[in-house]
Amino acid sequence: MYIKRLILLVGDLIAFQLALGATLLARYGSIEATTWWLHAVPFLIVSLLWIVGLFVTGMYELSQAKNGLGHFRMFLEGMFVNVLLAVAFFYLVPVFGIEPRTNLILYFVFSLFIVYGWRLIFNRFLARELMKTRLLFIGTSEDALALRESLSRSGLGFELSAVIHTTPRTEYGQDGIRWANQFEDLIPLIQSERISTIVLGHGIDEIPELRDALYQSLSTSVALVDRREIEETLTGCIPVSNVSKSWFLAHLRESEKTWFETVKRVLDIVMAIPFACMTIIVTPFVALIMKLTSEGDVFFVQERVGRYGKPFRMVKFRTMHHPKGQMSAEVNGAQYAVKNDPRITPFGRFLRATRIDELPQVWNVLRGDMSLIGPRPERPEFVAQLTERMPYYPLRHLTRPGLTGWAQTRYQYASTLDDNLVKLQYDLYYVKHRSLILDLAILLKTIDTVLRRKGT
């Protein structure tokens, strides 16, 4: 998966350099060394910015590596954002001694054709075929077929090549899978199907014959993974049906996250400072429009649950009707916000779509109540309900809540108790895998959400 993304990224970078060569050749008729080096450094920086732009718009999601109208539209959106980045770069950072108006237009046009052509080749010949991980599944027939469906949707290069099924299977369709029902067939299957990974749908000790067969497979150097690990990789979440006290003890090693939380806190403070300045600048304008369009206070303060279950008062720009925010918007008690919520003012809808309503929370970040990235903080009333339904819910509070998080980039708006239990699966994934790289990916995905105005 990571190697494919690296190949795609390097291919994009080479394609951007080819586009520069085509630009200079079209503009000057030849490529002189002096001309090349005059343009090489600034356009290399531009191409790196453009790669970030493509990442933000989802062009490095392997599940999207499918030729078609949707892929083309996503590519165009990313490239039009990129050309704005390039214009801003050249005219706000005028240190390279060039003002490449014509060259930038040519570079953009050649990049559209060359980069998209490369991506058509990648999607057609490399995304699905390059370095496939051939899997052998051991488990029920139903689970095997469900796993195959998940693998086919993922685009991550996993292929279910063989199955040793532990429940009767009466129909063997032409599904391209080698089926077997005897554990003695394990070693021949591994060799004939060139299996690199065995996915276990049962515990090793549940079936003695399975344990003995897997012991014999040690000489083949194949990897053994639990089905839940594969599902976690495919979905980016941890199903709550898979977790238990023993799961948390095995996977949540908080002592290993101490350095991460320390570094993250420092980065939060550094990055929050410019956002704090931005908040100071926009607050008078937001307050003026708010006073002209609806009644009520400018700020909305509400109690939320923070790290280790400690309550804190979160600050946002008010987006709902009537004064006193919570009391008038929730006359019947605490309610989940829903998509197209009638309580939201027209200006409040704009604030939510652009995430401007979240800006005052930067003060919560500076105070240490929140982080820029983390599970969204929930209200105490809802935490109690969710904990009653899922006793492990409070474990999402092992890290500071954030302005944006993994669940916000991967799942729809949570407007019900059941939606929040689904989001918990993504929060548990974040708590388990949290790292600076994952935080950066969340930040870039959030930028895409803001640019597309998908906030609610």
Q: What is the pLDDT of residue 327?
A: 46
- pTM value? 0.74
Per the structure, the count of domains in the chain is 3
Contact at 8 Å (CB) between 439 and 264?
yes
Choose the final residue of a domain: 205, 235, 265: 235
Rounded Cα distance between 63 and 408, Å, is: 19
**Backbone phi, then psi, for 57, in 5-degree steps?**
-85, 10
Choose the final residue of a domain: 126, 144, 179: 126
**Backbone phi, then psi, for 313, in 5-degree steps?**
-100, 115
Contact at 8 Å (CB) between 112 and 16?
no
Q: What is the pLDDT of residue 271?
A: 92
Same domain for 222 and 295, yes or no, is no
Which has more confidence, 44 or 411? 44
Q: pLDDT-derived band of residue 64, with 50, 70 and 90 as boundaries?
A: low
Q: What is the pLDDT of residue 373?
A: 94
Domain that holds residue 309: 255-451
Amino acid at 244: S
Same domain for 225 and 297, yes or no, is no
Q: How many CB atoms neighbour CB 78 within 10 A?
A: 21
What percentage of the chain exceeds 90 in pLDDT?
28
Same domain for 97 and 153, yes or no, is no
Using one digit for the tens of pLDDT, what is the confidence trace for 286-315? 999 998 988 888 999 999 999 999 999 999
Residue 109: inside a domain = yes
Pick the most confident of 48-57, 209-218, 361-370, 439-448: 361-370
Residue 245: inside a domain = no
Pick the most confident of 185-199, 231-245, 386-400: 386-400
Rounded Cα distance between 94 and 92, Å, is: 6
Average per-residue pLDDT in the chain? 83
Rounded Cα distance between 94 and 291, Å, is: 41
Q: How many CB atoms neighbour CB 439 within 10 A?
A: 23
Same domain for 274 and 388, yes or no, is yes
State yes or no: pLDDT of 454 exceeds 70: no
Which has more confidence, 78 or 1? 78
What percentage of the chain exceeds 70 in pLDDT?
89
Same domain for 168 and 90, yes or no, is no
Residue 353: inside a domain = yes
State yes or no: pLDDT of 413 exceeds 60: yes
- What DSSP state is assigned to residue 396? G
State yes or no: pLDDT of 75 exceeds 50: yes
Same domain for 144 and 102, yes or no, is no
Q: What is the pLDDT of residue 368?
A: 93
State yes or no: pLDDT of 22 exceeds 70: yes
Residue 331: inside a domain = yes
Same domain for 220 and 262, yes or no, is no
Entry field: residues in the chain: 456
Same domain for 121 and 228, yes or no, is no
**Backbone phi, then psi, for 316, in 5-degree steps?**
-140, 165
State yes or no: pLDDT of 326 exceeds 50: no
Q: What is the pLDDT of residue 47?
A: 92
SS3 183: helix
Residue 246: inside a domain = no
Average pLDDT for residues 230-250, to the nearest whole number?
78
Q: Domain holding 162: CATH number?
A: 3.40.50.720
Q: pLDDT-derived band of residue 88, with 50, 70 and 90 as boundaries?
A: confident
Residue 116: Cβ-neighbour burial (10 angstroms; 0-12, 13-18, 19+): middle
Q: What is the pLDDT of residue 447?
A: 81
Amino acid at 256: E
Residue 327: inside a domain = yes
Same domain for 410 and 272, yes or no, is yes
Amino acid at 19: A
Within 8 A by CB and 6+ apart from 174, the residues are none
Q: pLDDT-derived band of residue 108, with 50, 70 and 90 as boundaries?
A: very high
State the DSSP H helix or E strand holding residue 262, giving kind and residue range, or none if neither: helix 258-293
Q: pLDDT-derived band of residue 18, with 50, 70 and 90 as boundaries?
A: very high
Same domain for 146 and 203, yes or no, is yes
Choose the final residue of a domain: 104, 126, 148: 126
Same domain for 260 and 360, yes or no, is yes
Using one digit for the tens of pLDDT, what is the confidence trace for 187-238? 888 888 888 888 888 777 777 777 788 887 777 778 888 888 888 888 888 8
Using one digit for the tens of pLDDT, what is the confidence trace for 126-168? 766 666 778 888 888 888 888 888 887 776 678 888 888 887 7
State the DSSP H helix or E strand holding residue 344, giving kind and residue range, or none if neither: none
Q: What is the pLDDT of residue 376?
A: 92
Q: What is the pLDDT of residue 13?
A: 94
Residue 244: inside a domain = no
State yes or no: pLDDT of 334 exceeds 80: no
Q: What is the pLDDT of residue 295?
A: 85
Average pLDDT for residues 80-91, to the nearest whole number?
85
Same domain for 219 and 296, yes or no, is no
Q: What is the pLDDT of residue 130?
A: 62
State yes or no: pLDDT of 70 exceeds 80: no
Q: How many CB atoms neighbour CB 290 within 10 A?
A: 21
Residue 249: inside a domain = no
